[in-house]
A and B are shown apart, each in its own frame.
Chain A
């Protein structure tokens, strides 16, 4: 940016700053120095995901009907049930995918926003590594949705046993998608612009660009 160049978001070609808003001549992507409204979009998606966490965990994700006996199942309930059958390994995998990863992801994104807005920039290399992990691991939270999809497809035996999906699962999928989109819309370069180049550049220069 300071060298009068901007990077194409998709093919990483370098173009002069004057091409802001135009399209990359190599790949056709819209060029921006930084991702537009990165901070606001990330905040909006984080808030949406946090609100959706409530119905996702409180509402049942599926309903198990066995010999006329109906029983709703929540995410936590499923983990506890696996644990009570002594399957601690698989219970931990489900717990990690459906509780720890979404919460950890929200926390990780909040830490990155704090780095940007409050200047928490100690150990920036570790924070960047954490952000890359957060970005990569997010898709694994869809695990519980696919478990429900598999169970619902398999257990369709009329009165003997029947499993049906419930709205909690939709809310949970919403959490996963919002956190994935939030990680995508965040622009880590903003942190480096604002805090990590202060010894060489003044605030005035930043306001110009």
Chain B
């Protein structure tokens, strides 16, 4: 990038070319023509992303492995984890759905946390780790495919559907999943893409 190009910014939704605005802490710049957010600066974005991704990586283990709900009916008990719900769909012959549930509710959220951890760790320590641009790009592309909050809402709806016919006991997993969702939602809103790319670009040239 030439210095003149670094001074310019193009809206990625309507392609209006603008002078790069000077953004102070916690401010955001919007495109004057179409209203899209161009840059959204966040306070301590790198440190907060690192902290939140660490918290997320800790929480995701119990959220995935402990039962979310246990159903009790006539002396029988049946537990649900994210993995068993995918496996139950698989055993009904719906392998495509099982794969989607595994991807959207387990693999993608875990990958997102790992990638964010990798990039924010490198930027925080200002060291160059391999694959930083790739990790950041993958994170951006995976962002909307992590659906933990939708999975939690689905579980809550199923509680309501079943509450009339059986006893349902919430498990530790449900609490951890709730915490994990708060952490991942915060981490997406705390991420300053422009700052991250700027820092990654600097590292590439060292």
Contacts and interface: CB of A to CB of B under 8 A. Distances in A.
B15 A189 contact: yes
Question: Interface SS of chain A: helix, strand, loop or mixed?
Answer: helix
Given A29-B137, A142-B104, A145-B154, A188 B14 contact: yes
B32 to A, nearest CB: 10
Interface stretch (B121-129, B157-165, B179-187): B157-165
Contacts of A161: 73, 165-166
Given A145-B154, A196-B14, A156 B73 contact: no
Interface string B29-51: 00001111000000000000000
A28 B161 contact: no
Interface string A157-201: 110110011110110010001001000000011011100100000
Interface residues of B, number: 69
Contact of A192 (B34, B71, B100, B166): B34
Given A7-B12, A169-B97, 20 more contacts: A1-B15, A5-B17, A10-B137, A11-B201, A13-B201, A14-B10, A26-B204, A27-B134, A27-B136, A82-B161, A128-B35, A135-B144, A144-B154, A149-B86, A149-B101, A151-B158, A153-B87, A156-B88, A160-B76, A177-B100
Interface of B: 1, 5, 8-10, 12-17, 33-36, 68-69, 71, 73-74, 76, 78-81, 84-89, 92-94, 96-97, 100-101, 104-105, 133-134, 136-137, 140-141, 144-145, 147, 150-151, 153-155, 157-158, 160-162, 164-166, 168, 193-194, 197, 200-201, 204
